Amino acid sequence: MINVGIIGSGFIGPAHIEALRRLGFVQVVALCDSTLAQAQEKARRLNIPHAYGSVEALLAHPDLHVVHNCTPNNLHAEINRQILRAGKHVFSEKPLCMTPDEARELVALAEQAGVVHGVSFVYRQFAMVRQAASMMRAGSIGRLFAAHGSYLQDWMLLETDYNWRVDAALGGASRAVADIGSHWCDTVQFVTGRRITEVMADLAIVWPTRKANVAGNQTFVHDEHARYEDKPVTTEDFGSVLFRFDDGSKGSFSVSQVSAGRKNRLMFEINGSERSVAWDQENPQQLWIGHRAQANQTLTDDPSLMNPDAADSAHFPGGHIEGWPDAFKNMMAQFYRAVQAGAMPDRPAFATFHDGANVMYIIDAIVESHQQQRWVRVAQ
Ligand SMILES: NC(=O)c1ccc[n+]([C@@H]2O[C@H](COP(=O)([O-])OP(=O)(O)OC[C@H]3O[C@@H](n4cnc5c(N)ncnc54)[C@H](O)[C@@H]3O)[C@@H](O)[C@H]2O)c1
């Protein structure tokens, strides 16, 4: 058995735990949260044997092999550093950290440590996204012309919607782009096999002041009896980005956390010289395949109809709909196969610290582009 410790058990920590429990060869033995009392309460509810109130205490747990960092963004760099220094395999929530300098440092540390390192870019693990990537690799989409789409949510629509992500000190200088644009970029780079090298961005703050619940705001939780205080907002609610890939092809995407009715709508369309493909996370079992001279197709996540190199990402016969928790399981399965082997694979299908750093450079270029109102090159 591989022994795992989880740091942070708010919204996403329990999703990691559930996915790990579905693997069968991994056990979550310890959990750490901001306070010992909170950790003990969460550990009891999630049925985890050991609870700790500090990262140091969790890292000292005997025979711990892997540690997941599921804390807010401002803690990612420091906790990732601590995990690497302790010589543990590390799986970090996204974004990898808050600045490009931290990203470079963490990549170097991970390489030195010789451990398996992963970042939680989960959307590339959906069966139909893996299928689109396989079609691109096999040449059936043809020469890449363009990629475009959006990632839209509505959970920050109201002035009273508030979360640590709004505060640049805790979430980072960018909010919507770093929080969800990061996922869009990773997914589309994974499908196309191309890197975004230049960006031109225009960002918007629709609520320059928000009303924060004085008792604190949990992610995606609404409190009817809240009392509020005004908080100035410096992070974007909406953004549009034009970009260029490394092969000269082009694209654009929009991100929004204030689009009423859109809950988690990550959508992309890829146009190639042979055909197009399009995918929408809210309807994840379908891949739209667009043709010029024949009727368009909708492929569903039936493993017997998928390309052989993507079919292992769908686990049930066609018609048994798989979604976000299944993509999470796929991501953990990829990562833990590497942990079992004791080394990074040559071509990992999960996002690594290299991918996490690359996306940090894209976010940084997007923020700079918006500030300077010009095209900006993405650092390598
Ligand atoms: N991959 C995805 O699809 C996805 C989805 C949601 C969130 N996330 C990422 O997960 C991270 C956490 O987001 P969330 O929505 O779960 O936030 P959250 O606020 O719900 O949970 C954060 C948790 O971290 C704990 N924590 C805070 N400080 C700590 C410390 N010093 N030591 C230990 N624990 C500490 C909190 O008590 C809480 O349990 C973010 O970085 C976010 O970007 C990723």
Centre of ligand 1 to C-alpha 159, Å, is 22
pLDDT for 92-127, tens place per residue?
999 999 999 999 999 999 999 999 999 999 999 999
Q: Which atom of ligand 1 is nearest to the CA of 73?
A: 41
Say if residue 8's pLDDT is above 80.
Answer: yes
Reported as a pLDDT band with limits 50, 70 and 90, residue 45 is very high
Strands 2-7 and 238-245: unpaired
3-state DSSP call for residue 205? coil
In angstroms, rounded to a whole number, what is the distance separating the alpha carbons of residues 120 and 24?
20
pLDDT at 226: 83
Angstrom distance (rounded) from CA 253 to CA 239: 8
Q: Is residue 219 lining ligand 1, measured as CB closer than 6 Å?
A: yes
DSSP-assigned letters across all residues of 246-291 = TTS-EEEEEEES--TT-SSEEEEEEEESS-EEEEETTSTTEEEEE-
Q: What is the mean pLDDT of the chain?
A: 96
Query: Do the beta carbons of residue 225 and residue 172 sit within 8 Å?
Result: no
pLDDT per residue as tens digits for the range 264-311:
999 999 999 999 999 999 999 999 999 999 999 999 999 999 999 999
In tens, the pLDDT along 204-256 reads 999 999 999 888 767 667 777 888 999 999 999 999 999 999 999 999 999 99
Residue 219's pLDDT is what?
66
pLDDT of 150 > 70? The answer is yes
pLDDT of residue 224: 76
**pLDDT confidence of residue 227:** 87
Asked whether the predicted pLDDT for residue 37 surpasses 90, the reply is yes
Position 214 scores a pLDDT of 87
Nearest CA to ligand 1 atom 31: 34
Q: Is 209 in the pocket of ligand 1 (CB under 6 A)?
A: no
* Distance between CA atoms of residues 98 and 75, nearest Å: 9
In the reported structure, the alpha carbon of residue 337 is separated from the centroid of ligand 1 by a whole-number distance in angstroms of: 25
d(CA 260, CA 294): 36
| Pocket flag, ligand 1, residue 33 (CB < 6 Å) | yes
Please indicate whether residue 12, judged by its CB atom, sits closer than 6 Å to ligand 1: yes
| Closest to 173 measured CA to CA, from 234, 132, 226 | 234
Give the angle 350-358-67 at the CA atoms, nearest 5°. Answer: 45
Q: Could you tell which of 93, 263, 363 is best to mutate to test the pocket of ligand 1, judged by most ligand atoms within 8 Å of the CB?
A: 93
Token couple for 78: 């420091």
